[in-house]
Amino acid sequence: MKLRLKGMGLVFWGLLVVSLAYIVFLTTAPRAESGQTAQPSATTSAVQSDLASAPKTVVSTQPTTVGDTPAKPSSSAAGSDSKLQGVTLVSSSSAAPVGQNLISNPRFESGTSAWKLYGKIFAVVSPGHPGHARAVKVMNAWVEQPLPVSSVEAGATYALEGWGRSLSGAVCKLGFLGGKGGGVLLFNNRINFTGSAWEHKSLTQILPTDTIWAVVYLQDSGKECQFDDLSLMVRNAVATH
């Protein structure tokens, strides 16, 4: 009987010690005050800081444009053999420069830069016409160079000239065409080279009224053509008062 009472006493004192320890824990543990939010850990704060400082990717809903949207002449207006992709230019009140070559990279010393290729082959070859190191070959292609707006003047007389030769019986065309707004073609004048030896040829063209865009182009008839040392100049500008 005494042993049973002694065991019950030990259990009582054990429970009492556990209870007191729990009460002490509750009274000493830190608690957030009413109306306050517990602070995040240092790791959470660092992640939030990185997210706040990270660059944001902004997707624009507006189209990116450079100047006015170009209008393209219709293929029917430019002729059945034309693949013109030139832009419609806005007319300028300033006179076109007289006696200055309006073609960029006319001797192809900078490769094919400043020219636009539509088709297959447009490449530098060597040598060029007598006395020149380089020329270009065109095959199954239309190659063009639109004139700057300041170089287009209705009523002025333009002279186009250059060297060319035909390989394997091709008809090689050095041409000058232009038109008015909406891609309407007003003129298309060209030089044909059909011989295998280098030839120098030229043409003149008075730009019709309402001309606001013009293009110099090179074209073959399906076989290799070569061109070199091209020039387009204003011979007679329109008199201004």
Structural domain includes residue 59: no
CATH number at residue 195: 2.60.120.260
Q: CA-CA distances (angstroms) from residue 154 to 38, 106, 174? A: 79, 23, 21
Q: Do the domain assignments include residue 9?
A: no
Run of H or E residues at 226: strand 225-236
Q: Which residues constitute the domain of residue 126?
A: 75-236
The 10 Å Cβ neighbour count of residue 85 is 16
Cβ–Cβ under 8 Å, residues 103 and 230: yes
Q: Would you say residue 40 lies in a domain?
A: no
Residue 23 confidence (pLDDT)? 57
Q: What total number of domains does the chain contain?
A: 1
pLDDT tens digits, 120-166: 999 999 999 998 899 999 999 999 999 998 999 999 999 999 999 99
**Is residue 178 within 8 Å of residue 207, measured between CB atoms?**
yes
**DSSP 8-state class, residue 182:** G
Rounded to whole angstroms, the Cα distance separating 151 from 166 reads: 30
Assess contact for 157 and 205: CB atoms under 8 A.
yes
pLDDT above 70 covers what percent of the chain?
A: 59
Is residue 222 a part of any domain in this protein? Answer: yes
Is residue 36 included in any domain, yes or no? no
Mean pLDDT of the chain: 74
Share of the chain above pLDDT 90, in %: 54
Q: Is 51 inside any structural domain?
A: no
How many Å from the N-terminal Cα to the C-terminal Cα in the chain? 137
What integer pLDDT is reported at residue 3 of this predicted model? Answer: 47
Q: Which of 37-41, 53-57, 195-199, 231-235 has the lowest mean pLDDT?
A: 53-57
- Rounded Cα–Cα distance for residues 168 and 25 (Å): 103
User: What are the residues whose beta carbons fall under 8 Å from the beta carbon of 218, sequence distance 6 or more?
Assistant: 115, 122, 136, 138, 141, 142, 143, 144, 172, 173, 174, 175, 225, 227
Question: Could you tell me if residue 226 is inside a domain?
Answer: yes
Q: Is 18 inside a domain boundary? A: no
In this predicted structure, the answer to whether residue 4 has a pLDDT above a threshold of 60 is no
Euclidean distance between CA atoms 235 and 229, whole angstroms: 18
Q: Helices (H), strands (E): how many in the chain?
A: 3, 8
Q: What is the pTM of this model?
A: 0.63
Among 69-83, 93-107, 210-224, which is the least confidently predicted range? 69-83
